[in-house]
Amino acid sequence: MSDFIGDWHALLVLVVAGFLPNEVWRMLGLWFGGGVDEGSELLVWVRAVATAILAGVIAQILVLPPGSLASIPDWLRYGAVAAGFAVFMLTRRSIFAGVVGGEAVMLGGKWWLG
């Protein structure tokens, strides 16, 4: 058990910093959801901030890459994501095509570098 999950401290961190912060918003939606208009100005701001936080996380993974992603040169990581985005736009917003395109550029680039 302790090898599988880690110690109880790690599990507690998961509940406090991962589970509760998400579940709180879901349950608030369940309890008080009746009165909120989906198009309200507050929710427009909330969506913008949530989107920008997610964008920050994407940038963090690319700029300060974890683990084996760090073995790929900076320019190739950025180039691969830019290529993926270009393929996504060219294929009328196909996520699948964009992901495959980005991955192909990264693998091809790394292979070409040797």
Partner 1 sequence: MVRWPLALPPLDSTSWQSPLRAFAWGVRSVASTVLTLVLFATYLGIGALAHDSHFSLGWVLTSTALVWAGPAQIILISTLGSGATVVQAAIAVTVSAIRLFPMVVSVLPMMRTPQTKRRHLVLATHFIAVTLWVECFRLFPHVPRERRIAFTHGLGSGLCAVCLVATTLGYGLAANLPPLLGAAILLLTPLAFLLSTARNCRQLSDVLALVLGLALFPLVSLLQTGVDILISGISAGTIAYGVHRWRERR
Site for partner 1 in 4-33 (CB under 8 A): 4-6, 10-11, 13-31, 33
d(CA 5, CA 10): 8
Q: What's the angle, vertex CA 64, arms to CA 62 and CA 69, rounded to 5?
A: 65
Contact pick of 8, 69, 90, 108 for partner 1 (by CB under 8 A): 69
**Binding positions for partner 1, 46-65, rule CB under 8 A:** 46-65
Q: How is residue 6 written in tokens?
A: 């880690």
AA identity, residue 3: D
Report residue 59 as tokens. Answer: 């940038």
**Footprint of partner 1 on 93-112 (CB under 8 A):** 93-96, 98-99, 102-103, 106-107, 110
Look at the block and give the residue holding tokens 């109880």: 8
Of 11 and 75, the one with the shorter C-beta distance to partner 1 is: 11
Residue 75 Cβ, how far from partner 1 at the closest point, in Å?
14
